[in-house]
Structure 1
Amino acid sequence: MESIKIIISKIKDGSIKEMWEEFKWMMVYAKRYKKEILFYIFLGMFSTVMTLVSSVASKELIDVVTGHNVSKAPMMAIIMISMALFSLFFSSIMSRITIKINIRIQNDIQADIFDKIIGVNWLDLSKYPSGDILNRFGSDVSTVAQSAIGWVPDIVVSLFNFIATLAVVMYYDPTMMVLTMLNAPVMLIASKIMMSRMRKYNMKVKEMNSEMMHFQTETFSNVDSIKSFDLTDLFSRRLRNFQERYKEVNLEYNYFSIKSNIILSLIGMVIQNMLFVWGVYRLWTGHITYGEMTLFMTQSSRMSSAFNSLVSIIPSTVNSTISAARLMELISLPKEERAQDDYENLKESVQDGFSVELKDVDFAYVEDKQVIKSSSLQANRNEIVALVGPSGEGKTTLIRMLLGLLVPNSGDAVLKNKNGDEVNLNASTRKYFSYIPQGNTIFSGTIADNLRMVKEDATDDEIINSLEIACAYDFIKQLPDGINTQVGARGLGFSEGQAQRISIARAVLRDAPILLLDEATSALDTETEKRVLDNIIKQKPNKTCIVTTHRPSVLSMCQRVYRVKQMGVRQLDESEFGALG
């Protein structure tokens, strides 16, 4: 009843259409697994028949024993034991098959949603905390997967279970059937009481879980900084604040559940006692046998359970739309702009190198708050170009624009071959770039694993050559396992300078025409920094190298230097950047 009220309210406020779209989105996945859904339906119906046959056999056995007709007892006992053994064997086999299907389906749906999330526009996705994305990808995907596959079988099997059990009871005693049906209003009351608050608490818990996961992810990713600033007590208090809020939500819901369960249990007890009294009366008057009375008691409970399953499908479906909505919100974000033809058209020019150019570009992350305004820069093959300027002025924004992660609000960002052919920078042209971002970007695994991420078929010699160019092989060859040395998460076991050189080697191994280093040499000494950049230009010809830096030491190697300051990009003349160097 409460579900109907919610749906009516949604019709009035116009949101029922959204709920229907969410439901249809889930059912798209259900259509992919028609065979599995039919299998679940068969399994559920077969299990119902088995249980009913076992209950009738139990009833017959009781009647045989109480009627002293022991001649039929062995047969009934054999039937019951056979059914029990078959049920045990059948359920074990089906459990194995079911878990395989469930895992495959959940993995398929998770992989599909992962691909869709990872393909959305970077700027739009970056507005969501990482913990929130992880929670949606984990908990909400699981909910959608279960609902997409289980919704139809649940309805069919629960309805079949209810009707079949009702038919068995009616066969033996129509009056008992009517009394058993009194359980239905109890389930309706349960749905009415629970439904409205269930959705509210479900959303609260999901939002709280997202906040908690974001806090945990952020904390453990920055545990070194937390320890360095001696902030462990602060973060411990923050965790306990989260836990306190989570506790309050759950205790409030628990208190509500306790009160509801007491009332519903009392009503259920009254109905069960009515059934028991009626059964005793019918037994005393000789209208039913002991076996039939036992059958009535067990089937009454089964009908309650079956009706409960039917009623609960509505709130569970409504709640699953919450998860669907949260996922749809992510995958409906704008997709990255891709122009595969641009990538293909420039393939033949890779060996000759490329120039990149920003022409009078404007960009703002938030409307009316510009980061870059009317700015231009150019970097040609066989050049090192530097971007200098204070932190937070837009150097990293320019790098993201070159990578096609950001699109200028106005102006042009282009990639140009030696013949002057131009294409707009986008997600497809990103394949022509090797990027070394700020911070530690080393993953757990071996050193070779980290490098092969960008070139899976790279030989050991190619890896060693890239490490030599990045001035990293001198310390790696001294390790017991060399390039096969295990690396901890975030480069654990290596200094910041060593981790940076491994990252540079990975970018060199990618062997893309354009190399972007975003403060990527900040942990290197001046001599090593110059040697690395010199190696890249000399040993990898036709490279275009763009460096963002706060350090003037490398500027003497640059053909051009741009100062990024106060939303503008200005090219310095030789005397200006010579003075900086």
Structure 2
Amino acid sequence: MKLKRYWKKIKEDKAKGKDYFRWLIYYTKPYMWKIGLLMAVSILMTFVSIQYAMASRNLIDLAGGGKITIGATVVFIILIVLMQVVNPIMDLFTAMMYEKYTFGIRKQVYDKLLYSEWLGTQRFHTGDMMTRMTSDAGSVADGMVGVIPEIIVLLIQLVAVFITLYGYSPFLAIFALFLTPFGLLLTFIIGRKLKRLQVKVLESETAYRSFIQESLANLMVVKAFSNEEQFSDKLAELREKRFYWVWKKNKLSVGSNVVMNGTFQFGYMIAFVYAANQIAKGEITYGTMTLFLTLFARVQGPIASLARQLPGVVSIFAAAGRIMDIQDIPLEEREESVEMNGAVGIEVSNMSFAYSKENILKDVTFDIKPGEFVAIIGKSGIGKTTLIRVLMNFITAQKGIVEYYDTFGTRTKTSASVREFVSYVPQGNTLFSGSIKDNVLMGKLDATEEEMWEALDMAVCREFIEKLPDGIDTVIGEKGVGLSEGQAQRIALARALIRKSPFVILDEATSALDEQTEYELLKRLGGLSPKPTCLLITHRTSVLKYCSRELVIDDGHVTMKDL
């Protein structure tokens, strides 16, 4: 029964391996000709090294005969200089291509996350996604730029050197090649185990990176509960787990290298004794002995290198599998953009949504007219934010219809493209590090200075910005460090309002504002022409006086009532 499961697992791994290989080829296509050029130069340098070995023999034999020619010396020097010049250039070229290849994968994975379904991306911790985009992308790049081309070159080197050595000593050539089956057998035995250990190493790296990222992002909470020591101990615990898997992986890899190198040293010893015996019999010269040993080592070298490359090959497929997990996230549905004119309303018919089996929203039906201000007030966890995510297509309803429409009757079903005419201010601090100006212009990249200040005035920002040392160019930290919560919230409002969208969603967007500032903001928003439609999620009943209707969520059902 165990044997049956074993072979089933081998078949599954083989099928996955084919998928990984196709994925790797797809991502490597733009770099194929550069990798090919590197391989061609490497193969050329293989023949140069063979010529160097033969030139060394000639020089030694000439020296033994008491006469060194200028021609032989010049050839020897040229070959040394050629190797010393070409190899560093190749190293530099390889390093630069590695960087481009790595960035290429990271960019494509990043773009994939940007355009994928939001809910699909939430399966991954931010630290996990960072590990896949950095360490895993680096492993794939190192493998495709370095390991795989080197394996191909090593195989060509093996054939070329074997043929050359066979021409001088068939016995040594065949004896050296006898070690190949041993290398292949060792590769097969440890390959599967190494892959499993490599996955464990990557998972442990994800765990500690995720922990660091999350704890630093919430450093104030850690300090507030005096948990510094506990968090430090937790990081040490995660480090020990990582050390454990790294130790097991490296121990297996080093152990296999020790066995392989020991075998090759034994083979080299046999070759040395054989060549010395040939000299004793007067059948070869000292130069020929040097050539024998050099070529024998160059036959063994590719075989040993192939075995040492195994961890790199394993890393490629392990890392590729983890990156492909992100590639498997479905892309967002994006309908063709529709131009909406005037104010925009939204009609929801028989819509239901569930994160798992239990419905959060059940057969929801309502109609928000263009230009209306509608409030959603209720306790936490009743589905307010979930409803907003459905309306903006961050998540897709399992059933029902959600349509936006303008005052002229143009309609469009909800998809990622509706965000082009919807402005959204999420709850919490969502500012980026950089200048205040940079944060505001995220809402509209091509906005003029006049448009920017118009949005800042609408969000009641001018007074506090003009008091800052660098004004609009003041640099703030991550999540608005350097500003008060109220100031950060108003900057986020300006970022949304600069778009002048006909539909505005404010999710607890005035919670940090005093009542007077909130009044000024909503008054200015309602005074725009055409008047935008505004959906406000809040716990503050003071907002109700600015709204014409209230949307009530109760046990997943939604009703509308006039105010």
**Do Structure 1 and Structure 2 share a fold, with TM-score over 0.5?**
yes
For the residues of structure 2 that align with 1:42 and 1:260, how far apart are their CA atoms?
30
**2:226 matched residue in structure 1:** 230
SS of residue paired to 2:67: coil
**1:353 matched residue in structure 2:** 343
**2:51 matched residue in structure 1:** 53
Higher mean alpha-carbon deviation, 398-407 vs 130-139, is at 130-139
- Mapping of residues 143-542 of structure 1, within 5 Å: 143-149=139-145, 153-310=149-306, 316-317=312-313, 319-340=315-336, 343-344=337-338, 347=339, 349-350=340-341, 352-367=342-357, 369-539=358-528, 541-542=530-531
For the residues of structure 2 that align with 1:256 and 1:38, how far apart are their CA atoms?
32
Distance 1:6 1:171, change over 3 A: farther
For the residues of structure 2 that align with 1:7 and 1:154, how far apart are their CA atoms?
34
- Mapping of residues 31-42 of structure 1, within 5 Å: 31-42=29-40
SS of residue paired to 2:527: helix
Question: What per-residue deviation string (whole Å, max 9, x for no partner) do you get for residues 81-103 of structure 1?
Answer: 22222323323333333333333
Contact 2:121 2:329 in 1 (8 A): yes
Distance 1:97 1:270, change over 3 A: closer
For the residues of structure 2 that align with 1:539 and 1:570, how far apart are their CA atoms?
28
1:28 aligns to 2:18 (yes or no)? no
SS of residue paired to 2:234: helix
SS of residue paired to 1:479: coil
Higher mean alpha-carbon deviation, 78-87 vs 39-48, is at 78-87
Question: How far did 1:511 drift?
Answer: 1.8
Distance 1:45 1:255, change over 3 A: closer
For the residues of structure 2 that align with 1:508 and 1:124, how far apart are their CA atoms?
29
What letter corresponds to residue 278 of structure 1 in structure 2? Y
SS of residue paired to 1:33: helix
What letter corresponds to residue 360 of structure 1 in structure 2? N
Question: How far did 1:189 drift?
Answer: 4.4
Question: What per-residue deviation string (whole Å, max 9, x for no partner) do you get for residues 234-289 of structure 1?
Answer: 22122112112112222233444454444444333322211221121112222222
Please give the TM-score of this superposition, normalised by the length of structure 1.
0.90
Contact 1:57 1:76 in 2 (8 A): yes
SS of residue paired to 2:431: coil
Question: What per-residue deviation string (whole Å, max 9, x for no partner) do you get for residues 344-395 of structure 1?
Answer: 3xx1x33x1200232232111012x121122233333332211111111111
Distance 1:541 1:39, change over 3 A: same
Distance 1:15 1:58, change over 3 A: closer
Higher mean alpha-carbon deviation, 30-39 vs 276-285, is at 30-39
What letter corresponds to residue 28 of structure 2 in structure 1? A
Higher mean alpha-carbon deviation, 536-545 vs 460-469, is at 536-545
For the residues of structure 2 that align with 1:290 and 1:444, how far apart are their CA atoms?
70
Question: What per-residue deviation string (whole Å, max 9, x for no partner) do you get for residues 391-448 of structure 1?
Answer: 1111110110111112222222110111333221111111111111111111111111
For the residues of structure 1 that align with 2:364 and 2:193, how far apart are their CA atoms?
54
Contact 1:387 1:563 in 2 (8 A): yes
SS of residue paired to 2:131: helix
Distance 1:252 1:149, change over 3 A: closer
What letter corresponds to residue 325 of structure 1 in structure 2? G
Question: How far did 1:572 drift?
Answer: 3.7
Distance 1:174 1:214, change over 3 A: same
For the residues of structure 1 that align with 2:47 and 2:54, how far apart are their CA atoms?
11
What letter corresponds to residue 39 of structure 1 in structure 2? L
Question: How far did 1:149 drift?
Answer: 4.9
For the residues of structure 2 that align with 1:10 and 1:18, how far apart are their CA atoms?
12
Distance 1:8 1:173, change over 3 A: farther
SS of residue paired to 1:371: strand
Contact 1:186 1:268 in 2 (8 A): no
Question: How far did 1:162 drift?
Answer: 0.7
What letter corresponds to residue 355 of structure 1 in structure 2? G
Unaligned runs of 5+ in 1: 575-581
Contact 1:6 1:196 in 2 (8 A): no
Higher mean alpha-carbon deviation, 177-186 vs 310-319, is at 310-319
Question: How far did 1:80 drift?
Answer: 2.6
What letter corresponds to residue 561 of structure 1 in structure 2? E
For the residues of structure 1 that align with 2:302 and 2:142, how far apart are their CA atoms?
19
- Mapping of residues 537-556 of structure 1, within 5 Å: 537-539=526-528, 541-556=530-545
SS of residue paired to 1:516: strand
What letter corresponds to residue 21 of structure 2 in structure 1? F
Question: How far did 1:201 drift?
Answer: 0.5
For the residues of structure 2 that align with 1:243 and 1:413, how far apart are their CA atoms?
48
SS of residue paired to 1:428: helix
For the residues of structure 2 that align with 1:388 and 1:55, how far apart are their CA atoms?
84
What letter corresponds to residue 437 of structure 1 in structure 2? P
Question: How far did 1:546 drift?
Answer: 1.1
Higher mean alpha-carbon deviation, 153-162 vs 518-527, is at 153-162
SS of residue paired to 2:498: helix
**2:112 matched residue in structure 1:** 116
Higher mean alpha-carbon deviation, 414-423 vs 197-206, is at 414-423
Contact 1:193 1:260 in 2 (8 A): no
For the residues of structure 2 that align with 1:253 and 1:389, how far apart are their CA atoms?
53
- Mapping of residues 3-152 of structure 1, within 5 Å: 9=7, 13-70=11-68, 72=69, 74-149=70-145
Contact 1:382 1:542 in 2 (8 A): yes
Distance 1:255 1:20, change over 3 A: closer
Please give the TM-score of this superposition, normalised by the length of structure 2.
0.93
For the residues of structure 2 that align with 1:303 and 1:7, how far apart are their CA atoms?
39
For the residues of structure 1 that align with 2:306 and 2:256, how far apart are their CA atoms?
19
Aligned length: 561
Contact 1:26 1:324 in 2 (8 A): yes
Contact 2:158 2:302 in 1 (8 A): yes
Contact 2:194 2:252 in 1 (8 A): no
**1:578 matched residue in structure 2:** none
What letter corresponds to residue 321 of structure 2 in structure 1? A
Contact 1:7 1:16 in 2 (8 A): no
Identity %: 31
Question: How far did 1:143 drift?
Answer: 3.0
Distance 1:272 1:96, change over 3 A: closer
Contact 1:359 1:411 in 2 (8 A): yes
Contact 2:198 2:249 in 1 (8 A): no
Higher mean alpha-carbon deviation, 133-142 vs 263-272, is at 263-272
SS of residue paired to 1:366: coil
Question: How far did 1:484 drift?
Answer: 1.1
Question: How far did 1:7 drift?
Answer: 13
Question: How far did 1:130 drift?
Answer: 1.7
SS of residue paired to 2:366: strand
For the residues of structure 2 that align with 1:176 and 1:484, how far apart are their CA atoms?
74
Higher mean alpha-carbon deviation, 415-424 vs 30-39, is at 30-39
Contact 1:472 1:498 in 2 (8 A): yes
For the residues of structure 2 that align with 1:11 and 1:438, how far apart are their CA atoms?
47
Question: How far did 1:543 drift?
Answer: 0.8
Unaligned runs of 5+ in 2: none
Question: How far did 1:34 drift?
Answer: 3.5
What letter corresponds to residue 291 of structure 1 in structure 2? G
Higher mean alpha-carbon deviation, 208-217 vs 188-197, is at 188-197
Question: How far did 1:155 drift?
Answer: 4.4
Distance 1:485 1:533, change over 3 A: same
Question: What per-residue deviation string (whole Å, max 9, x for no partner) do you get for residues 490-542 of structure 1?
Answer: 11111111111100000011222111111111111111112112112214532
SS of residue paired to 2:428: coil
Contact 1:29 1:109 in 2 (8 A): yes
For the residues of structure 1 that align with 2:258 and 2:110, how far apart are their CA atoms?
43
SS of residue paired to 1:458: coil
